Amino acid sequence: MLIKRRQFLTTCGIATLATQISPLTAESANTIRKPPRLQVGDTVGLIAPAGIVDAKDIEAAQQSILQLGLKVKLGKHILDRYGYLAGRDSDRAQDVNLMFSDRSIKAIIPMRGGWGCNRILPLLNYSLIRSHPKIIIGYSDITTLLLAINARSQMITFHGPVATSTWNQFTVDYFKRILFNAEAVTMQNLNPSQVRVEIIAPGKARGKLVGGNLSVLSAMVGSPYLPSWNKSILFVEEVGEDVYRIDRMLTQLKTAGILNQIAGFIFGQCSKCSLGDEPSFTLMQVLQQHILPLGIPAWYGSMIGHIKDKFTLPIGVEVEIDAELGTIQMLETAVSLV
């Protein structure tokens, strides 16, 4: 009797965990949801799901968002501090869930990255998020939220500026065209003489756009919070890493079976990346070693990463890339008109 009771409790525990991790029904699992587009006068929710922010950061971010014609609502725990995190895991997760459930909020913009989003993934309500689709955008550590929500809630998410980013003309232009105007844009570097596209392998490819910060993505490998890689277009970016670490992370993606599934590859910018003190390969040599054997179109140098001029990249949208031109052409809109 005791054994049967233990078996029953164990089964219930597994069932509960499965419900948290896989909230979608079989019918809805293959249907991707697009959040409604932004309109002037809409309210944006600012949250701090990762690193600590201060009042000065919030004030500056509010001014940037207001200049876009949007209103601002702050997360309940945005100024919390817990070690190097912006509050306890449960509180940071609560702010994410509350922003999605709040019908007055039309988009969610994290204040900054850092570290911490991976810790809150089991605490997010993915069924709630799917039933209240709205724009969530960011980069760096926010990669975790973008990929997990895309995978578990089957919703388009956006790799782009955080609230404390430089909202210059280049960044705002792509942000507005994709998220306000619902355009299917072609993304191309503004000034090829300043940011040169370096072709790894020429050609064109189509697939769903997936990716983000390389180290954050690598840290998620083996978890149930990653989307399908089958025939996808993988984009990555990095900052402050020695080349051997880039090699290590790409090797991890390779041995995990991810690289062998993708149809195209884009490395955005590797800002402040160095060769290190020991004898080293160049970054391009490492990229060629990992990507050339795949026989897929690939290039380095897209406007993606810890840089001032940023594309807004819709994760989960069908795109076509051209490695020789360094272009990312959206084949569909990323937001709905209602």
Catalytic residues: 140, 237, 306
Q: Tell me the Ramachandran region of residue 37: left when phi exceeds 0, alpha when psi lies from -120 to 50, beta otherwise.
A: beta
User: Count of CB atoms within 10 A of residue 152's CB?
Assistant: 24
Helix (H, G, I), strand (E, B) or coil at 87: coil
Cα dihedral 101→82→161→118 (10° resolution): -70
* Residue 214 phi, psi (nearest 5): -65, -45
Q: Rounded to an integer, what distance in angstroms lies between the CA atom of residue 90 and that of residue 67?
A: 32
CA-nearest of 302, 323, 324, 322 to 313 is 302
Q: Tokens 């160095």 correspond to what residue? A: 274
Question: How do beta strands 233-239 and 204-213 pair?
Answer: parallel
Identity at 118, one-letter amino acid code: N
In sequence order, what are the residues at sequence separation of 6 or more whose Cβ sits closer than 8 angstroms to the Cβ of residue 90? 123
DSSP assignment of 256-287: TT-GGG-SEEEEEEEET-B--SS----HHHHH
Let me know: does 217 contact 211? Beta carbons within 8 Å.
Answer: yes
Helix (H, G, I), strand (E, B) or coil at 228: coil
CA-nearest of 304, 303, 305, 302 to 326 is 302
Q: Rounded to an integer, what distance in angstroms lies between the CA atom of residue 108 and that of residue 110?
A: 7
